[in-house]
Structure 1
């Protein structure tokens, strides 16, 4: 009988080591060595020991020589599920990355106490499956998609809804996702619900617990400790559960995956900041293709990426049976009778509606920026003031605070204008603090609440108040706000970038959906197609128009892109290696920001050429990383990488 052979993936970011290595399994490790366990193995280069995971056990090695033995089995607990390895491999290949980088996102560091508790657990009792609820508001549409393994871009119910048994209120999208997850788990399959941030996690978990028992709900998010993540991972491997979390939840193990649902896939929080930078939506697409699970993308304002999938017929457009569009009023389209009042920061009609609504409950005022003011200028000549130390912009947090640099934090003490010599400063623009200060004087006796990144507020009570919140930081109110004011829309749209309109429309619509049914929302200072889309609540129209423009310009997501950064020779060679795979002219090379001597180029290519482009660019990275050079009269050492590749990177377009 031939010796057992373990095929191991190494925990290494080096692209030349991104493959499976064969190792001999010594007799003392045969009992514990199984697919998914952590092991330590020798590397002949430099006599090093590396960590890794066993992927599979075979009887014959692919390597013709003598095999090195496994150094140690770190733990007999299998933590890398086969389906997670398949996902990591596919995501890495799609992104021209390294599988071990994906595994670091999927598998938390070892937790000895958690593993011991898992090994000692009583596995004789399986918690009962929940009863399948009726998914309210969509007829049989969502049930059909889930049962058939279909895919849908879902328009959520655009207002808060009540949970059964007087369990409180949640956003409309979260109840629908919870019901869909409960239907999936009732059929003995796992559901993964991925949302952008911790507040969304809390909302959807609260809804899920009303339909599924707590012993079938696990959580994956950035607020968890490694121990909590490790425990959740082991539980998810053993039974059908609802996995609730942020983008890391998309890598949760599930032997029988039935559903992946994402809320607000256009939110930048789904963009992974670590190599290989795979977007959460792309991970979900890869995983549903591998498993046949259903995919639901919930969003009030559809992303252009989701719109592309709908237009090509890969997803269906699913809307509530009896949609009740919110009452959104663009003040710029009101009659000219108001004159200058219509162009005020808060027009009179919006002011009157907010005053009336604030007598009965909370009113939401969304602003663009935190702090007291958005800028500081010289009082004499109006020249924009900047930091004397680093040249950065100045800001002020309160009315009486000394202006401070946004970059280095230096106080603007002893300011002298370089243009006119003036020494006095004046704040301009309105941040959340200044808006709250002005509203506090206009609404005497009314509670004013400020919610932003530095002062997060998750929930406010349903009683008279004015809530001033920056975009994305709006608190939730049981039953919904009585009125919503969307200010600074022109400033939000003034940013440059490929996704500005998408982001702004998403931010506005998410705020509108926090209002109670029938409550008025005033969109201030914005006209044109976006205002029309908000007023008619046809939020897919801007995405459709934007996608048409991007097809003409060959911009993502109409095409995929690869950003190449490195030496001029390395970037040029990589472009030449792609041959005819690219479409349109290569953008660049141009000098790379913050990288002296490096250049950057952007290559665009069709989705159909994705595997070919990714494989070619990864081969170029390996070739450049594996070369050696002679240094100091004969000493040989590996050269620093001269080529970096990032696929589907939209940062150059922002």
Structure 2
């Protein structure tokens, strides 16, 4: 009887995105099992390709002679069956290639990690776990939802929570405490949990919360800061026993024994958009995996995304809100002139300045600003013309008051700058970044320690001592027990950007910063009025999401519908649009020329379609990509060579709607 291995090739070519049959020689039958890495010949014996074994059968579908597996690279099964099923479904949903998804899920081979896993003590088992009650919500509501494998949009507890003891406190964000307590119930049943968060600060907060309620052996990290060896070790450990896998967007691909929970914190964060093909959003992967595994699903946020709001309004997600938990005391404040000169320069109204000055005597005060650096830009001191880099044309800026101006894009120093308009050689800053705000607050708060936190000076935590912390959005450090007061500046500047998700992004920035305050701390929202200010003041953050989604439905914009971006030659894009036929919703946007594309004459069209037509649209567009990728062109002399791809497809692409 012939043993046949069905493998998926490690190739990005869409025409090779299927399973191939190879005969397994007798000497490899013991090691050639589903999940292992192998080498197989491709077309000729001299050309080898890496592959993963998906299944082993007694007979293949091909009636002729099969090529044989050349080598089993390692007997460690690194590709779990459920991860292959997930990768296949995600690729099909995004009109992509399964091997591209597997590159996100499985790190490159690490011999040392595989040998250590193969030599492990299989009789060892991790410590048992006692479930911890989920605090902040009505008694038993989340526990019952987890037991029933339910799905929910959960409003996070909006203040820090202590998971330690009186002798050794462990302060974590409210959302991290909720996820850790929920995970303890899942692991106590010897099931695994997968928890995805946006960035390294969130991973650190969540890990600290988990280690307060779970043994170390039950927590496994999957994040961008790990080496390939650490990721490989974590992957194999997750296949051994029930664990909580945490990390950023790749964590959702972590293998799991008896998956019981998938959860995401702040799914609207742009960090969850995968920048590599097939460009899937972590939220979409979580939805696909939930459907395949029947695990419980939780989306935690302070201000939920319109995507989650859509699922709530379809009654696919249950709404869960904190019960008898104090919400931040948000005070919308007009951008009025302050009685204190230095505070006025720092854009702080008198009421907010007085509250912050009093709070700074007892603990740290958080001031959130829009931009890092000293100013938002530089202009000629003589004519006011905006200053640009002589190398790439990008805007010039300064990280602090006396720094040499440099380009924000390429980093080139603007030494000896001369204005091309008037010839002037002096520059002056415009706008106020984090450093300039910190300088002015240092004068407004004499004798108070000033701390700056931004992308170039990241801080995870500051002590609970009097200080003023000036931070850009998303870079706010944590404080044990929370900030004594929070000031949210530059709201008008944040809302002035053009883009489809500006409002929900700004709400996330504000609410995530406000939730870092201690229970009862005052939060001043400066210079903002209208429905956003009302939503913040009442902490009814579902209302803006509902209103925004209603507007998107009228305009046929995502997430009310799905979108596909088609980029390529005018002929290829037009043919792909015609192939879709009646599967679209609303008129096609474009084609329009793509500026800056490497191929001249490139155009882009945006196609909108209902969710019910997703499988049809993805299959049609992938067929078009394969057809054009397989085409050949005739060169002078009669030679035939494969043509460069003339069509690129990206489903659920947020880039055309972000900022113009």
Structure-2-length-normalised TM-score: 0.96
Q: Are the equivalent residues in 2 in contact too, given 1:331–1:342 (CA < 8 A)?
A: no
Query: What residue number does 1:252 align with?
Result: 254
Equivalent position to 2:286, from 284, 287, 311:
284
Q: How far did residue 343 of structure 1 move?
A: 11
Distance 1:203 1:478 in 2: 12
What SS is found at the alignment partner of 2:239? helix
Query: What residue number does 2:157 align with?
Result: 157
Q: Structure 1, residues 193-242: CA drift from partner, whole Å, max 9, x if none?
A: 11011111111111111211111111100011111111111111111111
Are the structure 2 counterparts of residues 128 and 499 from structure 1 closer, same or farther at C-alpha, using a change threshold of 3 Å?
same
Query: What residue number does 2:22 align with?
Result: 23
Are the structure 2 counterparts of residues 218 and 198 from structure 1 closer, same or farther at C-alpha, using a change threshold of 3 Å?
same
Are the structure 2 counterparts of residues 521 and 21 from structure 1 closer, same or farther at C-alpha, using a change threshold of 3 Å?
same
Q: Which moved more, 1:385-394 or 1:562-571?
A: 385-394
Distance 2:511 2:180 in 1: 21
Q: Structure 1, residues 596-627: CA drift from partner, whole Å, max 9, x if none?
A: 21110000000000000000000010000111
Superposed, 1:255-274 pairs within 5 Å as: 255-274=257-276
Distance 1:214 1:413 in 2: 53
State yes or no: 1:301 paired with 2:303: yes
Q: How far did residue 342 of structure 1 move?
A: 9.3
Distance 1:175 1:100 in 2: 36
Superposed, 1:44-443 pairs within 5 Å as: 44=43, 47-138=46-137, 139-165=139-165, 166-332=168-334, 345-443=347-445
Q: Structure 1, residues 61-85: CA drift from partner, whole Å, max 9, x if none?
A: 1112110000001111111000000
Are the structure 2 counterparts of residues 423 and 164 from structure 1 closer, same or farther at C-alpha, using a change threshold of 3 Å?
closer
State yes or no: 1:646 paired with 2:645: no
Q: Which runs of 5+ in 1 are unaligned?
A: none
Q: How far did residue 422 of structure 1 move?
A: 3.2
Equivalent position to 1:606, from 610, 623, 631:
610
Distance 2:419 2:125 in 1: 73
What SS is found at the alignment partner of 1:6? strand
Query: What residue number does 1:525 align with?
Result: 527
Are the structure 2 counterparts of residues 159 and 176 from structure 1 closer, same or farther at C-alpha, using a change threshold of 3 Å?
same
Distance 1:252 1:395 in 2: 41
Query: What residue number does 1:492 align with?
Result: 494
Superposed, 1:494-513 pairs within 5 Å as: 494-513=496-515
Q: How far did residue 333 of structure 1 move?
A: 9.2
Q: Which moved more, 1:248-257 or 1:605-614?
A: 248-257
Q: Which moved more, 1:296-305 or 1:40-49?
A: 40-49
Aligned length in residues: 652
Q: Are the equivalent residues in 2 in contact too, given 1:237–1:254 (CA < 8 A)?
A: yes
Q: Are the equivalent residues in 2 in contact too, given 1:83–1:255 (CA < 8 A)?
A: no
Q: Structure 1, residues 346-377: CA drift from partner, whole Å, max 9, x if none?
A: 00011111110111111101111111111112
Are the structure 2 counterparts of residues 343 and 249 from structure 1 closer, same or farther at C-alpha, using a change threshold of 3 Å?
same
Q: Are the equivalent residues in 1 in contact too, given 2:346–2:437 (CA < 8 A)?
A: no
Distance 1:86 1:112 in 2: 25
Q: Are the equivalent residues in 2 in contact too, given 1:332–1:342 (CA < 8 A)?
A: no
Q: Are the equivalent residues in 2 in contact too, given 1:591–1:598 (CA < 8 A)?
A: yes
Equivalent position to 1:568, from 548, 563, 570:
570
What SS is found at the alignment partner of 2:428? strand
Query: What residue number does 1:623 align with?
Result: 627
Q: How far did residue 338 of structure 1 move?
A: 8.7
Q: Structure 1, residues 129-150: CA drift from partner, whole Å, max 9, x if none?
A: 2011111121211111111111
Q: Are the equivalent residues in 2 in contact too, given 1:447–1:464 (CA < 8 A)?
A: yes
Q: Are the equivalent residues in 2 in contact too, given 1:343–1:525 (CA < 8 A)?
A: no
Q: Are the equivalent residues in 1 in contact too, given 2:338–2:349 (CA < 8 A)?
A: no
Query: What residue number does 2:587 align with?
Result: 585
Query: What residue number does 2:32 align with?
Result: 33
Q: Are the equivalent residues in 1 in contact too, given 2:259–2:295 (CA < 8 A)?
A: yes
Q: Are the equivalent residues in 2 in contact too, given 1:448–1:467 (CA < 8 A)?
A: yes
What SS is found at the alignment partner of 1:546? helix
Distance 1:337 1:430 in 2: 17
Distance 1:280 1:137 in 2: 27
Distance 1:483 1:359 in 2: 11
Q: How far did residue 46 of structure 1 move?
A: 8.1
Q: Which moved more, 1:205-214 or 1:44-53?
A: 44-53
Distance 1:271 1:640 in 2: 27
Q: Are the equivalent residues in 2 in contact too, given 1:366–1:469 (CA < 8 A)?
A: yes
What SS is found at the alignment partner of 2:583? coil
Structure-1-length-normalised TM-score: 0.97
Q: Are the equivalent residues in 2 in contact too, given 1:482–1:516 (CA < 8 A)?
A: yes
Q: Which moved more, 1:399-408 or 1:567-576?
A: 399-408
Distance 2:540 2:182 in 1: 24
